[in-house]
Amino acid sequence: MIAESLISQAIIPLRTSDTGEEALNMMDDFHVKHLPIVNNEQLLGVVSEDDIFNFDVNEAVGSYSLSLRRPYVKRNDHIYEVMRILANNQLTIIPVVDDEDNYSGVITLEDLLRYFASTTPFAEHGSILVLEMSKRDYTLTEIARIIESEGAIVLSCFVSSHPDSTLLEVTLKINRQNIQSILATFERFNYSIKASFNETEYLDSLKERYDAFIAYLNV
């Protein structure tokens, strides 16, 4: 999946002559906190809501000193790269440019979340298992082997850690609702099971968080 497949033309980019007040109105209309500034087809940068409040809202956005360093992705960039740049810059939109660096449109954080929510790891029935282990003990091959030995498969795997810790959290989506035998096998091999959820419990919790996040974006 590449950035090109999620490009939206619904959000109109700002011109350098648009005022801060006009930009705020557009942000309110589109439920975002950032907008691209485009001159003809050239992407000049991204203005944030905070940028506008730091200057005169009656002045043109082209006169603002922007806090962001022209963040963008290429049309052929992978969705993971889109996610990384959105997260690193705490953006609600990311501009997309072509090979000539001409503006093509934007990808919104909401569209990206909707895409991931529709993919197989989220859409297919199953359960969630969270393991905790030291970094040196992590091997996905061994984890997958244990799960497959019980006749199940790993639909997705997410690994997280804290910079000041030697421990990893490995979150697994497994294509089976009843994973008691899998839990017992992991315990037999001395894995630390931090949490497990059946699909109904987990998706109810995930849906609550997703709905709350979308409501926040629409404020």
Q: Residue 164's pLDDT is what?
A: 82
CATH of residue 79: 3.10.580.10
User: Same domain for 24 and 53?
Assistant: yes
Contacts with 59 (C-beta within 8 Å, 6 or more apart), sequence order: 19, 20
Q: Which of 91, 116, 141 is the last residue of a domain?
A: 116
| Residue corresponding to tokens 């006009």 | 22
Asked if residue 137 has pLDDT above 90, the reply is yes
Asked if residue 117 has pLDDT above 80, the reply is no
According to DSSP, the residues that pair with 73 across neighbouring strands are 96
Q: Are 44 and 15 in contact (CB under 8 A)?
A: no
What does the DSSP 8-state code read for residue 177?
Answer: S
218 lies in some domain: no
Specify the pTM.
0.68
Range of the domain at 189: 120-212
Tens of pLDDT, residues 74-111? 999 998 899 999 999 999 999 999 998 899 999 999 88
